Structure 1
Amino acid sequence: MSTEAVSQAPPSEMQRGLKNRHLQLIAIGGAIGTGLFLGSGKLISVAGPSIIFVYMVIGFFVFIIMRSLGELLLSNLHYKTFGDIAKDMLGPWAGFFVSWNYWFSWVIACVADIIAITAYVQWFNADIPSWVPALFAAGLLLLLNLQPVKFFGETEFWFAILKIVAILGLIAVGIVLIVIGFQTPDGNTASVTNLWSHGGMFPMGASGFVLGFQMGIFSFIGVEMVGTASAETENPRKTLPKAINSIVVRILIFYVGALAVIMCVTPWDQIAPDKSPFVSTLTTAGFGLAAFVIQLVVLTSAASSANGGLYSGTRMLFGLAKDGHAPRGFAWTNNRGVPSKAVFFTSVFLFASIPLLFAGDSVVAAFTFVSSMCATLILFTWGSIVVSYIVYRRRFPERHAASKFKLPFSRVSPWLVLAFFVFIAGTLLYGEDTRTPFLAAPLWFILLTVLWQLQKRKLQREGRPLTSSIPTVTHPLDIED
């Protein structure tokens, strides 16, 4: 796109079209993704019942990350994303790295979701060529993200409702089966004792428990989406704290509760690693129709996750363009407040899921590779939030003191998270399935380094600032309050 064309259509702003109910359900939907529905089968086969503790530990640290992000965003409502926070706290280079990395990680996550959609569709009909649902899903995601943000919020609202009802329904059915001592056609009796009667809570020992953290991290990718969406929310000071504080309850119910019930009904060593345990459990229990319905919900869940990912990625690309770190055309929004050029550009990469389906031995193999790469990149994104918080607390003690949404134990918590990330990096390097994508990740950061140096020199030659500044004046929303 030429400079003249850009000047004739100057960048406009996105609209605050998301309401409280949208943000709350986006927060819930972001915490219930493809990693839970599809990846948990593989995780159970690796870690056994100890996967429950894996999710508890990861959930604890994710909560700290989100509380850090919440305090940062509310310290200045002019922050649109954590890319804005990174450039303000760490420098222009950090905004470039964090924003492009987050965009790329969501492109990869969306590819993983499309691969998962393919697996779900083939559950209904194995004769359907894998490229057909992948192509259809990519096209549908493009169409959905060209709609106004209010439409996105409404879509995610109902997607999230479906996920919640499905998981709560599965938990309720599972509890009933446990209470009545239901015997499956395989001769297993539903019982809480199934959690420890098949080799104990840690049947694979410490190594299995440690390996559970690799893909467990992927299950939580998307919780930070609520931070991106808050920039298009009507009243973030009221809605964002509610959404973040509810994370603990969501993790306990949707992750710990659901998987505990599944392993009580079907012993962990009889759950197929290449299938969704949510569907296979109901099928094993003889609830064919319920399994069919759950499969539909799981399918929409993957679509929801990809939809939210494409939304987050395009908003990050929009911010990059406004900072001068991406072509100016991506900062253009149409008359409905949608950064449509950023949407089209990002959507092109979703079609990369199609050749990946033919590269691996199975859909799950492709999903494992892609999700592992994504888990590696998200560590950098989450790490930038935590490091930005450490700098913020030192540089702006008055903002921290005035905050009504402070991070608990803020002197120690961020450092615990960084130590945990070192541990996660070790697990990704330790596992055979995750080692290759982990070792491939530095190539991406080398590329980013080269691109930053080129962009930096270009901006300096043109006499432009290395990034756009963050306003320090009172935000209009605070004036209205």
Structure 2
Amino acid sequence: MNKTSKVEVNQDGTQRGLTNLAVQMIAFGGSIGTGLFLGAGSTIHRTGPSILLVYAVIGSFFFLMMRAIGEMLYADPNQHTFVAFIHRYLGSGLGKFAEWSYWLELILAAMAELTAIAAYFQLWFPNLPAWLIQLVFLVALTLINLAVVSFFGKAEIILSGIKIITILGLIVVGGWLILTHHQGISGDRAAVSNLTANFSVFPNGIAQFIFAFPMVFFAFQGMEFVGITTAETKQPRKILPRAINQIIGRILFFYIGSLAVIMMVSPWQRISASQSPFVQIFELAGIPAAAMLINLVVIVAAASTLNSAIFSTGRHLYQLALESHSAHMKPLRKISTSGIPIVSVLVSATLMLGSPILSLFNQLTSAFTFVASVSGDIYILVCILTMVAHWKFRHSPASRQIAFRMPAYRITEPLTICFLLVYFLVKHHAGRQLGRLFGRWVLVVI
């Protein structure tokens, strides 16, 4: 124990400086991003009020996956990444594939956030080069990550806090518009009945409902960052269960609550698919410069996700270095005097420079679409392997006497794995008939 700072220092030199609030905010930072603030109109336009069902279903499966990850980390809280359990329980071959693939997925996801930051920042400064914007944000957030882990946690609390305040602001403002029956978009009055009138699960057909799943699934990515903070969290066996049990409910509240309010303020058919619903609601309330406000929040949201990604990639690469016997990986094990795996963080951040380089040769939208698509495929495969590893874990001696368990894992785990497999097939448009077949199967399973 470090008596001066009262922060527990691990044997490898890393420090347990993250609080319960910081851990939850890191999860918020990873999972509540630009998709909600900008993409909500598109998801609502696709399938109407039943989009709330899509969020609830996917959120439930993410909760089950987080409980599986939490159980393994509860048994061994010294791991710097949950992906290490794939190596332990499924063998070195799949383990190395998953570990390197997930690290690459995080790099690509960070690059996607950098391209998004540049695109939104250029709305204010259109003549500023995208590569320069990306470089400034990347350097600034990397420096935050090189400070003590508690400082990183405080930075993430601030960044994620801005997003949460904005969502709560929308819910409060929208609630006021509903209570006063404010005249909304296209002359419609705000009312709860806008959400329930002429309700249909498939207003635009079952295909649109099914293909809303990939859009919503992408929004939940990053929640698993909780499973990369454990080795640097204070009292992990106390904080980890609390953080996992609380985070899913709060994220679902923010997602479902904000979308429900949006569709109460105006019938979902009137909501623009091309403009942020947050902007539309704040403009209805007479808030000046609503578009500028949301653009600022979107930049903060992307920066928050990028901040968490830099943290995660550094710890993940450090874990890979610990498991490797290669002399080339040994420098990546270096820990700074402030308890940070400094070389692993710097190497990961350096690879993210691919984003500003990419922006020199492609349009920002093309770059964002490319990196998001590739990272999404890797992510799903790692999720499936993680669940299989947990199944093996539950049949090993290490799972005995564990107080934090995945509920009814013999049923919920195969169900989650099947859901992830079906989602992967649907995401890749595996033929129209196959998509319909698996889509119906998803509904039956749900």
Same fold, TM-score > 0.5, yes or no: yes
Gaps in structure 2 of 5+ consecutive residues:
1-10, 432-446
Checking the alignment, whether the CA contact within 8 Å between 1:214 and 1:372 is kept in structure 2 is no
Checking the alignment, whether the CA contact within 8 Å between 1:159 and 1:300 is kept in structure 2 is yes
TM-score when normalising by structure 2: 0.86
Offset of residue 356 of structure 1: 4.5
1:251 pairs with 2:248:
no
* 1:80–1:129 distance in 2 versus 1, CA, 3 Å: closer
- Give, in whole Å, the separation in 2 of the partners of 1:225 and 1:60: 17
Offset of residue 304 of structure 1: 0.6
* 1:164–1:92 distance in 2 versus 1, CA, 3 Å: same
- Give, in whole Å, the separation in 1 of the partners of 2:401 and 2:76: 12
- Give, in whole Å, the separation in 2 of the partners of 1:367 and 1:196: 35
Q: Report how many residues are paired.
A: 419
* 1:139–1:18 distance in 2 versus 1, CA, 3 Å: same
* 1:286–1:105 distance in 2 versus 1, CA, 3 Å: same
Q: Residue 224 of structure 1 aligns to a residue in which SS?
A: helix
Residues 187-202 of structure 1: pairs in structure 2 closer than 5 A: 187-195=187-195, 200-202=200-202
Offset of residue 125 of structure 1: 4.4
What corresponds to 1:164 in structure 2?
164
Checking the alignment, whether the CA contact within 8 Å between 2:185 and 2:270 is kept in structure 1 is no
What corresponds to 1:49 in structure 2?
49
- Give, in whole Å, the separation in 2 of the partners of 1:203 and 1:286: 31
- Give, in whole Å, the separation in 2 of the partners of 1:302 and 1:86: 29
1:351 pairs with 2:353:
yes
* 1:227–1:58 distance in 2 versus 1, CA, 3 Å: same
List per-residue Cα deviations over 1:176-213 (Å, max 9, x = no partner).
Answer: 11121111364233233333558845322111111111
* 1:61–1:422 distance in 2 versus 1, CA, 3 Å: same
What corresponds to 2:422 in structure 1?
423
Residues 321-336 of structure 1: pairs in structure 2 closer than 5 A: 321-324=321-324, 327-336=329-338
What corresponds to 1:142 in structure 2?
142
- Give, in whole Å, the separation in 1 of the partners of 2:275 and 2:378: 25
List per-residue Cα deviations over 1:251-292 (Å, max 9, x = no partner).
Answer: 331111111112222443444444433234323554224553
What corresponds to 1:184 in structure 2?
184
155-164 vs 171-180, which moves further = 155-164
1:408 pairs with 2:407:
yes
What corresponds to 1:236 in structure 2?
236
Checking the alignment, whether the CA contact within 8 Å between 1:185 and 1:286 is kept in structure 2 is no
- Give, in whole Å, the separation in 2 of the partners of 1:49 and 1:350: 38
342-351 vs 266-275, which moves further = 266-275
* 1:45–1:126 distance in 2 versus 1, CA, 3 Å: farther
- Give, in whole Å, the separation in 1 of the partners of 2:268 and 2:359: 28
Offset of residue 390 of structure 1: 0.5
Checking the alignment, whether the CA contact within 8 Å between 2:81 and 2:228 is kept in structure 1 is yes
- Give, in whole Å, the separation in 2 of the partners of 1:374 and 1:426: 16
Offset of residue 305 of structure 1: 0.5
98-107 vs 278-287, which moves further = 278-287
Residues 14-53 of structure 1: pairs in structure 2 closer than 5 A: 14-53=14-53
- Give, in whole Å, the separation in 2 of the partners of 1:202 and 1:42: 15
1:226 pairs with 2:226:
yes
125-134 vs 136-145, which moves further = 125-134
Gaps in structure 1 of 5+ consecutive residues:
1-10, 433-481
Offset of residue 367 of structure 1: 3.3
Offset of residue 88 of structure 1: 1.5
- Give, in whole Å, the separation in 2 of the partners of 1:370 and 1:198: 39
1:115 pairs with 2:105:
no
What corresponds to 2:204 in structure 1?
204
Offset of residue 215 of structure 1: 2.2
Checking the alignment, whether the CA contact within 8 Å between 1:37 and 1:298 is kept in structure 2 is yes
Offset of residue 67 of structure 1: 0.4
* 1:15–1:177 distance in 2 versus 1, CA, 3 Å: same
- Give, in whole Å, the separation in 2 of the partners of 1:235 and 1:69: 17
Checking the alignment, whether the CA contact within 8 Å between 1:334 and 1:340 is kept in structure 2 is yes
- Give, in whole Å, the separation in 1 of the partners of 2:430 and 2:297: 31
TM-score when normalising by structure 1: 0.80
- Give, in whole Å, the separation in 1 of the partners of 2:185 and 2:249: 34
- Give, in whole Å, the separation in 2 of the partners of 1:150 and 1:156: 10
Q: Residue 221 of structure 2 aligns to a residue in which SS?
A: coil
Checking the alignment, whether the CA contact within 8 Å between 2:17 and 2:149 is kept in structure 1 is yes
Q: Residue 402 of structure 1 aligns to a residue in which SS?
A: coil
What corresponds to 1:460 in structure 2?
none
